[in-house]
A and B are shown apart, each in its own frame.
Chain A
Amino acid sequence: MSSSPAVGPGAPAGQPNHLRRFLTLWLGSSIVALPLVIIFIGPLLGPAGGNSAETSGEITDMKVLVGVATPIILLVMTFLLYAMINFRQEQGSVLEGPAVRGDARVQSLWIVITSVLVLAIAVFGTVRLESESGDGSGSGPKPLTSPSGPKIPVQVIAQQWLFTYRYPTYGGVETTSLVLPVNKEIEFNVTSLDVIHSFWAFQIGVKADANPGVDNIAFSKPTREMEFEVHCAELCGIWHGAMHNEARVVSDTAFESWIGEQRARLAPATKVLPGYSRTYTPEPLRRAE
């Protein structure tokens, strides 16, 4: 077989123009696949976007990232298939291929395009993160940005192996079920009493680790009345898998009536609870000896 000349992508006599064929295959498949992925697979990449402001942000981000990934994945996979079919050696022969050690243009193009792409994704991610006040992620005791307007603080206290929820603006009542009013900005203050846990409210797009002695703040604004699951997402001991509960987003009035009922019912317990604080350190302070 003839070898290809070193200069230019032109097809030598007798050989098809592999580059043109491959690029056609790749671009063609990308143009077909990309809209299909974004339209049909995109909405499946997380809990429904309509659940909360955070989930819609997360679905958007997933669509962008998966959308960028699709042509890249297609590039390499089409290439592998193309190479396996077209650049074969006959069984038993040991013919040599062309002694090409590199191509400065292709290398530079690759470096530039990948760098630009990566920087663009990073900028996109940063802008979205900060414009969405952390997008449901646990942002520590001093988040960079927080949503404007009134927020309802809900403290999530994690312990082995149970979440409890404390509402400081409602008398500091501590309940074992989480109920939230719809269309209100919620400020979760997540902390732990013993080991590291993680408060993962899947359907409303919130995850914040619970570290002992740390107040981890995450924001969310649920936009639909629904039931959702809360799971612990950080291994915390043998009943880590059992550490989950059901929670609800209800209308304003339903929430007010629920919290009033909880306050009344749990008043004796609230009296003996320690005062509301950002973190709690169970006594004794020193190590057991």
Chain B
Amino acid sequence: MSTTDAQAQAVSGPAPDTRPVWRRLIGFNLLTAVILGVGGYYLGWFIGHQINTSSFAYEKATDENDVALLLAYAFGVVGFLIGLGFANYPVERFLGKPASLREKEGHGTSRYFGLCTDHKVVGIQYLVGIGLFLFVGAVNAMMIRTELLHDTPTFVGPNQYLTLVGVHGTMMMGIMTSGILGPFANYFVPLMIGARRMAFPRVEALTFWLLMAGGFILASTIFFGGFPTGWTGYEPLNDQAVMGMDSYIIFFALVGISMVLLGLNMIATIITLRAPGLTWSRLPIFVWATFATAVLMVLAAPMLIATLLMSALDRSISTSFFIVGGGGSSFLFQNLFWFFGHPEVYILALPGFGIVLELIPVFVRKPLWGYRLAIAGMLGVSLMSFFVWQHHLFVSGINADLRPFYMLSTEIISVPTGFIFICFMGTLWRGRMSLTVPMLFCLAWAFNFLIGGTSGVVLSDVATDTQLHGSFFVMAHFHYTIVGGLIFSFFAAIYYWVPKMLGLKFNEKLAKWHFWLMFVSFNSTFLPLFALGIMGMPRRVSQYEPHLLGLNIWVSISAFVLGFSMLIFLVNVIYSMVFARVPAEANPWHSKSLEWQVPTPVPVNNFEQIPVIDSDPYDYGTPIPIGAGQTAPAGA
């Protein structure tokens, strides 16, 4: 069997590559991808200019050629993917060659810089790629807060400011949809379910590279004039905007495609590749959260793609989906966008639920309390998230009959969200808590998401929403849920799982500094935003009433401290991974979950033999003796 051959070869090491450097660089790799991507970009640009000729006088007069830019980006992405080798398998299948699982693999670090079908490699690629674009988004945030240090436009002009706001929001939303599923679900779901791989490994790699291509496209908006709509891309302002808007459209469309494929892959893997004995009721809660998220991804993201395509058509060939003067409607965009947009924010929130509920049993040495209730909560949130979207449109002039229904549905969705909290609290009850850094982040998650969630209930009431919609109160609400919820759980997952992924320990002291500084500065930054909203400051402005100046200065300074805490994390990463390099044990947290039972580093085929599962991974705790008042032996 070639598997044992491969393993035997792995033990003795790969044959050294003796080809000259230039020869090694030829092939389907990142360099080829970049070259073909740039080539594709210019090809598309050329074709676009040939197509888009005399009938669109506006474009001729202003050198604004949206057809050319959209085609350029599209061809560029296709060239990029071809260069990486993603077209090889479809072409082979077109010619009728049989399906084979893995490409001819490179080895060593080159696996991380190209198409790799090993889910562990894709997980690490995601971690680095997401970190890179999170950094870009965070730098934008720091620039926004710098501008807001003064109550009139000071450092950047209004167009640059809006582009900063737009790129910050869009980058964060687009990248963080796969923020936890990308790195951690890709790496650990197969390990948690006892499989050797994901269901569709090439598709998995594709989702990563689509996101990377998209991120660069979004960053390139600055070369085309930026975009003025913020991350929501509302028409008709969208239609009015200069070419930089097309970067937003293509980025978000690529994110949408990536989401559909990622969700599809996750669901197929979880349904079909579970180890023997792993029934649905024994599945780790993180896998359930991944499942619930993936369902939303598969169903909601296509709406986004369709909406963005309609926007692109409106911009490039003058259709009238959203242009009132041509028979379209601005409400159509709002409804379509938020039909995606609301499940989108639950795509952001659900993995966080999964992470914290997965981690806290390990750190309180108790089983997860209310396992079925937690699942019901997640699936309930998932289902209900499709029925609430018009709460973003309460004051927009939609049919007033609809508002009580959406107020009700929005408030009801807080009930399944509450299930997560009671399960969290029940797990902590009478546990034996060790305050490791992942645990600290989980506790902070509870604190932050509580504030975020309750502020959401305040917004769900139409009368209060009248004052608070479009103000900084909404900003505070979603930053508390997304940053306070998702990003904090993201860091919990990093500190928890990176010792397994990379086999190296983080420096504990730096980690604790990171946590405390981040927690305090995060709350110091975003809590006053509630007050700013209540005091009447609208969103997405760089000039505001002078009496709000003091509070804005406080917020900006706290934001800089928050940024500094991220630098501490970066220092920790570089120090621990490059200099200190302390190897991590195979199971430093003494977790009973399946992914910790494999050695570090994780072997290529994950498991020597596929395990047979006989219980869920929450087998902690001294069993309760039958009869009251008995003292059981201490400890494990």
Residues of A at the B interface (CB closer than 8 Å) are 1-8, 10, 12-13, 18, 44-47, 54, 57-58, 61-62, 65-66, 69, 72-73, 76-77, 79-80, 83-84, 87-89, 91, 93-103, 106-107, 110-111, 114-115, 118-119, 121-122, 125-126, 128-130, 132, 134-144, 190, 194-196, 198, 200, 202-203, 205-209, 211-216, 218, 229, 231-242, 281-282, 284-289
Contacts and interface: CB of A to CB of B under 8 A. Distances in A.
Contact of A87 (B232, B433, B590): B433
A87 B430 contact: yes
Contacts of A207: 395, 466-467, 469-470
B450 interface: yes
A1 B634 contact: yes
16 contacts: A3-B624, A4-B624, A58-B464, A65-B464, A76-B447, A87-B428, A100-B621, A111-B415, A115-B412, A118-B457, A137-B394, A196-B236, A235-B228, A236-B237, A237-B240, A287-B326
Contact of B636 (A18, A61, A94, A130): A94
Interface stretch (B93-101, B115-123, B493-501, B542-550): B542-550
B369 interface: yes
B463 interface: yes
B398 A65 contact: no
B153 interface: yes
Interface in B524-567: 534, 536, 538-545
A136 B634 CA distance: 63
Interface in B438-475: 443, 446-447, 450-451, 454, 457-458, 460-467, 469-471
Contact of A137 (B434, B463, B622): B463
Listed from nearest, the 4 A-B pairs whose CB atoms lie closest are A99-B621, A241-B541, A216-B397, A233-B470
A18 B325 CA distance: 67
Nearest to A82: B428
Nearest to A108: B373
B365 A94 contact: yes
A234 B230 CA distance: 10
Given A77-B450, A118-B411, 14 more contacts: A3-B632, A5-B628, A6-B624, A7-B628, A13-B631, A88-B432, A99-B367, A121-B457, A125-B404, A129-B404, A200-B470, A212-B325, A214-B397, A289-B58
A212 B486 CA distance: 36
Chain A CB count within 10 A is highest, among B365, B457, B538, B623, for B538
Interface in B247-287: none
Interface stretch (B177-185, B206-214, B297-305, B418-426): B418-426
Contacts of B635: 93-96
Contacts of A62: 458, 464
A96 B536 contact: no
Interface stretch (B193-201, B316-324, B514-522): B316-324
Nearest to A144: B400
Given A80-B443, A241-B544, A233 B538 contact: yes
B17 interface: no
A190 to B, nearest CB: 8
Contact of B234 (A1, A96, A139, A196): A196
Nearest to B541: A241
A118 B236 CA distance: 36
Contact-size category for B: 35 or more
Given A58-B464, A97-B431, A241-B541, A233 B162 contact: no
Contacts of B429: 18, 83, 87, 100
Contact of B411 (A58, A61, A121, A239): A121
Contact of B624 (A66, A100, A135, A138): A100
Contacts of B628: 5, 7-8, 10, 12
Contact of A114 (B232, B330, B418, B543): B418
A45 to B, nearest CB: 6
Contacts of B469: 198, 207, 233
A102 B427 CA distance: 9
Interface string B379-399: 000000000000000111111
Chain B CB count within 10 A is highest, among A80, A137, A232, for A137
A286 B318 CA distance: 10
Contacts of A234: 234, 470
B401 interface: yes
Interface in B608-636: 618, 620-625, 627-632, 634-636
Contacts of B426: 100, 102-103, 106
B597 interface: no
Given A97-B621, A100-B369, A211-B397, A229 B629 contact: no
B158 interface: yes
A45 B534 contact: yes
Interface string B209-240: 00000000000000000001110101011001
B600 interface: no
Contacts of A211: 330-331, 396-397
Contacts of B418: 110, 114
Chain A CB count within 10 A is highest, among B230, B334, B426, for B426
Contacts of B464: 58, 61-62, 65
B35 interface: no
Contacts of A61: 461, 463-464
B621 A235 contact: no
Contact of B397 (A73, A200, A208): A208
A209 B428 contact: no
A95 B447 CA distance: 26
A137 B395 contact: yes
A212 B404 CA distance: 25
Chain B CB count within 10 A is highest, among A141, A203, A214, A233, for A233
B397 A5 contact: no
B371 interface: yes
Given A46-B467, A137-B394, A95 B636 contact: yes
A199 B414 CA distance: 30
B363 to A, nearest CB: 8
Contacts of B237: 195-196, 235-237
A139 B398 CA distance: 7
A140 B390 CA distance: 14
Contacts of B318: 287, 289
A238 B539 CA distance: 13
A271 B8 CA distance: 92
A288 B430 CA distance: 69
B365 A97 contact: yes
B331 A214 contact: yes
Nearest to A121: B411
Interface string B328-345: 011100100000000000
A57 B331 CA distance: 28
Contacts of A137: 394-395, 462-463, 465-466
A205 B466 contact: yes
B164 to A, nearest CB: 12
Nearest to A101: B367
Nearest to B320: A287
Nearest to B632: A3
B403 interface: yes
B57 interface: yes
